[in-house]
A = this chain, B = another copy of it.
């Protein structure tokens, strides 16, 4: 099933302009920006919702559940002991989980060849769980770039502490150390994508970056 390139390019422009709207309203995960630019410079790739790596605290029966999960805290940067202690003092309905996640990047490509190229680049950067999620005529071929970087640690089960308050500073140190690995993986990916640039870059993106005076990135 080939992708309808004309319609795909319209979508690329929409998603590209959303990045800059999100940046303006403070909604963008800023650590992602260099990678998003680098990927969108490829004529046959655009980026979708992605994450640079983060630490979250959720109150839920199962840490992976969407329904009934209450995200109490979210940060794309190291956390402090005080931040964690503050959350653990709040009442907990189900269980309190601390989750460190590595980067997760979603992109759409206009061809299987380009999807295969992204998967090879991602794998070279250590994103070993990367894959093509789905294929659509208009939405394009959806690629997920994913590492194995993850920690999902239970702190409380209801009101009972499984990780005692006295040990929380150690948990913070471990979580921040793992997050550092996440951010390093992201840098490896930016470097791999940059060193695998196609001969021709997307002229629309280049011109738009020039307008935005981000030209310095070249």
Show the binding face of A for B, using Cβ within 8 Å. Answer: 62-64, 95, 112, 116, 119, 129-135, 143-144, 146-154, 157, 160-164, 167, 170-171, 174, 178, 181
Contact = CB atoms under 8 A, between A and B. Distances in A.
A163 to B, nearest CB: 6
Contacts of A164: 164, 167
Secondary structure call for the A interface: mixed
A170 B160 CA distance: 10
Contacts of A153: 151-154
Nearest to A102: B64
Nearest to A144: B131
A11 B63 CA distance: 38
A169 to B, nearest CB: 10
Nearest to A147: B64
B160 A163 contact: no
Given A163-B163, A167-B162, A170-B160, A133 B135 contact: no
Contact of A151 (B133, B154, B161, B174): B154
A144 B144 CA distance: 12
A116 B133 contact: no
Contacts of A154: 151, 153, 171, 174
A151 to B, nearest CB: 5
A182 to B, nearest CB: 11
Contact of A132 (B95, B132, B149, B152): B132
A21 B181 CA distance: 40
Nearest to A174: B154
A116 B129 contact: no
